[in-house]
Amino acid sequence: MTDAVRLGLLSAYRKLLQPLVRIIIRNGVSFSELTEILKYVFVEVAERDFNLPDRRTSQSRIAILTGLTRKEVAKQKAIIDSGGAPNVIGNLNRVTRVLLGWHTDPVFTGPYGMPLELPFEAASGSDFVALVRKYSGDMAPRAMLDELLHVGAVERLATGAFKVLMRVYIPESFHPDALQRLGEVVRDFINTVEFNMGKGHGPGRFERIVIAEDGLREDLMPAFETLLKAKGHTLLVELDNWLSAQELTATAKNRNVRRIRTGVGIYHFVTYDD
């Protein structure tokens, strides 16, 4: 791989990851939790999709392909071989650790274990700055306070001190079904793009895009959305009817033929540059 291709690929992934990272930050997933998933996926994909002919991919080769240490590869392989998933539940994010410490640490709790009302910073005694430094490493106390105020986990009192309202950090979240759909939709689209990239000038899977090159006037957006929903819905209904008809006409003989998951997705994208 040339440097130009490598840089181009990394630039493309930066754009790809932006909306995905936005979703995980909104839902309270930390960087360390994501890296655990990435290690698992790197090992999983390297072992499954980069086998040498008639040879099982060794842990040493997986380490070479992924850049992970052999110790880390062995750890992820053990999880994969056991049929498990990466254990990221214990990697509490910084906000959660701060709230937990505020509710459980004797330094920051009073009689009967009730969390103290903390000043931001004090010459003596417990304060919010000390809490953050103890439970959030190098996180800036002011930034932590802003986030806690933003999510309603803390309130500012008339005295200037801060009172904790939540024991658990509950960020904005999606319904589990929506999260499953997110993974499937993005995976299916990227699989198609990857397949077509490898076909050169040969036949690929259908993948087309229509863009208003110079942008569409904002006042015309409602009209475009109406047109898209009408035309897109009509096309998808027609395709769905065709697929359903194949199931209805299937015979006992061809029911044993290999089944391939396939379909078509239509989506409307909008990007605001300012």
What CATH number does residue 141 fall under? 1.10.10
If asked whether residues 31 and 82 sit together in one domain, one would say: yes
Residue 171 counted as domain residue: no
Out of 30, 60, 88, a domain closes at: 88
Whether the full predicted model's pTM is greater than 0.85, yes or no, is no
pLDDT value at residue 25: 81
Spatial separation of the C-alpha atoms in residues 207 and 196, rounded to whole Å = 8
If asked whether residues 82 and 106 sit together in one domain, one would say: no
Contacts of 44 (CB under 8 A, 6+ apart): 76, 80
If asked whether residues 107 and 159 sit together in one domain, one would say: yes
Residue 258 counted as domain residue: yes
Strand partners, 39: none
Q: State the chain's mean pLDDT as an integer.
A: 84
Spatial separation of the C-alpha atoms in residues 88 and 26, rounded to whole Å = 17
If asked whether residues 40 and 106 sit together in one domain, one would say: no
If asked whether residues 84 and 122 sit together in one domain, one would say: no
Out of 88, 113, 135, a domain closes at: 88
Degrees, nearest 5: CA angle 53-260-37 = 65
Give the C-alpha distances (Å, rounded to integers) separating 144 from 128, 147, 148, 225, 243: 10, 5, 6, 40, 52
Residue 230 counted as domain residue: yes
If asked whether residues 67 and 126 sit together in one domain, one would say: no
**If you average pLDDT over residues 6-21, what whole number do you get?**
85
Residue 188 counted as domain residue: no
- 117 φψ region: left (φ > 0), alpha (ψ -120 to 50), beta (else): beta
Residue 137 counted as domain residue: yes
Query: What's the N-to-C CA distance of the chain in angstroms?
Result: 35
pLDDT value at residue 162: 96
Residue 177 counted as domain residue: no
If asked whether residues 225 and 246 sit together in one domain, one would say: yes
- Over the stretch 75-131, which tens digit does the pLDDT of each residue have? 999 888 887 766 554 445 678 789 988 998 899 999 888 999 999 999 888 999 999
If asked whether residues 108 and 67 sit together in one domain, one would say: no
Give the C-alpha distances (Å, rounded to integers) separating 115 from 133, 143, 164: 17, 21, 7
Residue 255 counted as domain residue: yes
Out of 131, 164, 197, a domain closes at: 164
Range of the domain at 268: 208-274
Greatest mean pLDDT range, 188-197, 220-229, 263-272: 220-229
Give the C-alpha distances (Å, rounded to integers) separating 188 from 9, 13, 44, 60, 177: 19, 16, 18, 30, 16
Domain count, the chain: 3
pLDDT value at residue 89: 45
